[in-house]
Structure 1
Amino acid sequence: MSLNRHLFFIVMLWFCFPITTAIAQQGFGNTAKSSEPSEFGNETLEWRREYGSGEGLRTFSAMTIDHDDQSVILAGLSQMPEITKLFTRGGNPIEQLIVQKVDFFGNTLWIKPFSLSTTEPNRARSVSLMKDDSYLVSGYHGGLTSMQNYAVKIDEEGKELWKRRVGGVGDFVYYIKETPDNGFMAVGKKSYKGQKVSWLAKFNSDMRMIGESLYEDTAIGNLKFLEDSSFYSVAINYNPETGQKSLSLSKFSVTGEQQWQTFSMPNIELGQRRLQLSHVEYLDNHILVAGSAIDFSRGDKQNASMWLTKLNYKGEMLWSRTFEHDGEVGSFRYLAENNKGNTIAGAMRLQEAFGAEVETYFVTLSSEGVLLTKTFLGDDTISDIEFFDDGTVLITGERELNVKKYRSGRSYASSFSYVERKKLESGSK
C-alpha cells in the first residue's frame, strides 16, 4: 500500500508494527503510448434491463456475479413506492438501500430494501459474495461530515442476517471485504488532526473491530487476501520532500506487518503532474492498475494523461500504457478481464478541465493494453463491469433524462438504471 507515514496503530494482535517507506524508484518493463483502436470489434447485445424510468428512482452502484449459478447481485438505492417503506413528513419516499438478484438472462429473482436510517437517504457502496454463500453489502447515509457506514449480511434469499455500524461519524468506507480467517477488513478514509487519512480496520467474524491503523500521504486502492490472511495492497505514495507521488505494491502479514514494498512509475513524464489512482483489479497472476496524471497549475487547462499498468505480484511492471487527452481529465473505471486473459474491459470517463461536460466510453483492450474498441455512451455513469464465465460481459450504469436547468444555475434530471449483457467479438481492422 502507499504507506508514507504510519500515524497511529492499535495493538490487538493486528496492525502492531510501524511502517516506513523508501524513495520511489523508476519502474521497469514494457512501456508505450497508446494509439487509437488497432482493431474494430462487434458487440452483440444479449439482453438489457432498465429500471426506474417512469416507476420511481432506482440506481445500482455495485454488483457481483455468483459464478456457481451465474446469477447477479446488484446493490443500490430506490425511491420506488412499492419497494420503499419509509416516507418523509412531506409524503416523499426516502431513498432506501436495495439489493436485487437477477439470473443469467436478466430475470429478477428477488429485490429487497434495507433501512440504515429512517430520516436520511440510504445508499450502497459495495457488494460481495461470502464463503458461506451469503452476501455482504456495505452502505451509508449522511453527508461528508455526518456520514455513517454500515455492513449488512444477507442470505441467498435476501433475508437480513445482521447489520453493523462500521467506523465513526464522518468516516468514509470504500468497501468491506471478508478475509480468509472468517473476519473482515474495511478500507476507507478517516479524520485525523483536521485532515482525511487512509484507514484500514480489521474485524472479527461478528463484525466487531479488533484493530485499526491510519496512514498519512497515501491513497489505498484495493486489497487482495491470500489463504493465510496475509494481503497485498496497491496504493499511491506522496513524498512530502520531493512533492511527487509514486505507485507502490506492498505485502503484509496476517498481523499487519509490512513484509516488503516496491515502487514503480507508469510510462508518464510527470513534470508538474501528480499521479491519481482510479482503479485496481487483482487477477490470478497479475494486477491491473489505472489512474491519471494531472497538472493543476495550468489555469483553465489541466495537462492530463490517463495511464494503465500491469504488475506482477513482485511489484515488477510488465507494461505501461499512456492515453493522452489534452484539456480533459480522464480515468479508467471498473476494469475486468475475461477468464482467458486475452481481453480487458472497462469504462473510460473524460471530463473537460474545470468543466461539467462528461463523456463516457465502454472500451476493450488486449492483454498488452492496446485499445481495441471504444463505444460512446454519452454522459452515462458506469457503476461496474464484470465478465461471466462464457466471456460475455455485464455492465451496469445510469443515464440521465429530461435535464432541466434553472436561472439560478442549478439543474435537475430524472434518470434510469440499466443492466446489460454483451457478447464481444473482435476482428481485424
Structure 2
Amino acid sequence: MNWVTLMNELWIGSVLLVVLFTLLASGTWVALSLVSVAAVGMLLIGNDAFGLIYATTTWGAVSDWSLAALPLFIWMGEILFRSRLSDDLFEGLTPWLSRIPGALFHVNILSCGIFAAVSGSSAATAATIGKMTLPELKRKGYDDHMAIGTLAGSGTLGLLIPPSIILIVYGVSAEVSIGRLFIAGALPGLMLVLMFIGYTVFWSLKNHQRMPIDDTHYTRAQKFAGIIKLVPVACLVTFVLGSIYAGITTPTEAASFGVLGSLVLAASSRTLSWQTFKDSLMGAVKTSCMIIFILAGAAFLTVAMGFIGLPRLLAEQIALLNLSPYMLLLCLTILFVILGCFLDGISVVVLTTSVVLPMVTQAGINPLWFGIYIVLVVEMSQITPPVGFNLFVIQSLTGKNILYVAKAALPFFFLLMAAVAIITVFPQIVTWLPMTMTQG
C-alpha cells in the first residue's frame, strides 16, 4: 500500500469518527448515526450509489431467518415481566436461602439468574427483580449499598444466560450458530452466578455487623411450598433451553414455544388480561424494531467501510504490531469498555463485530469463544458510568445518585473482569459444552 492511499484512508477514517461521535453526542438515534456515517463515507470516496447499496444491504441483513427468534424471545420476556413470576421467584427462594450467609441478598442473584433464562434482557432482568426485591430488602434492614450492588451485578446476567438477545445479534452479525452460542453461554453464566454468590457470602461474613438479625424459621411445609412456586418457571426454562441443547428445536422454534408457555403461565397466575397482552406485544414490537434498525444501520456501515478499506487497513496495521492473542484481547477489552460507556451493548456488538472479527480469526481465536467474551465485556460496560444501562435502571428504581449506584456495583465489575480473565486462560469453559453436545 502506498503512502498516498494510506493517508487518504486515515483521513476519511478520522472524518467518520468525528461525524459518528458528533451525532451520538447530539442524541441522534444510534441506527440513524450509523446510516449517516456510512453515507458520508460513501460520498467521500465518490460513490453516489449509496441509496441502492443501502436498500440491498439492509434487506439482506434484516431478512435472515435466525432473527425471527429475536422478537419472540423479547415477547416472552415482556409477558413474564407482567406476570407473577417475580413474586413467585422471591417467595419460592426465600425459605431456602434464609440460613446462608448473605441470606436474602442471594435472592437478588438467583432471581436474576432464573429470570435472565426466560427474558434474555439485562434491563428487563434488573427492573423486574429490583422492583420486587429492593423494597423487601430495605424493609428487613439489609445494607442498602450491598442490595443495590448485587442487583446491578446480577442484572447483567440477562446478557449472557441463554436465551440472550445480544447473543442472537452477535450470531447474526458474525454468522455463528445461535444454538451453539446459547450452549456456550451456559457454563460461563453458571460460573458468574457462583462467583457472585461466593463474593456475597464473603462480604456477609466479613461485615456481619451490617447484616440484619433474622430469626424467621421456615418449616418443611413452607420450603416445599416454595419449590412448588418455582416449578412452572423451572419447567419453562428447562423446556425452552433443553429443546435447543438437545437439538430438538431451533432457537426460533424454541422461542415460539416459549411465548406459548409464558402465555399459559400468565393465564394460570390470573395476570393475563387483554391490556397486559397488548402492552407486552407493543413492548416487544418497540424493542425489536429498535434492534433491527440498529442491525440494518450497522450492516450498511459495514459495507461502506469495506468500500473505503478501513477494516483491511486496521487489520493490516494491527498485524504489523505482531500482537499476541492475549495482547490483542487486552486492547479489545479496553476498547469495548470505553465504547460501552457511551453506547448500549447491542450497538457495541453490531458496530465492532465486522471490524474486529477478521483480526480475531487471523489471531487464531475461535469466533464462538469470542462471542461469549464480547458479551462478558459488554456486561462490564452495563455497570460502568456514565452510560451503564443497568445503572440507569437501578437509579430510576432507587432514586439514588448514579455515582452511588456505580460505586455499589464496582465489586461486581471486578468480578466480571475476573470472569473475562478466567475464560481467556481456560477457554474450555466456553467451548467444551458445544463441542461435547455436537459430538454427541
Bin the TM-score by the shorter chain: under 0.3
Tell me which of the two structures has the higher relative contact order, counting C-alpha pairs closer than 8 angstroms and 6 or more residues apart. 2
Greater percentage in strand:
1
**Larger Cα-atom Rg:** 2
Greater percentage in helix:
2
Which TM-score applies when normalising by structure 2? 0.24
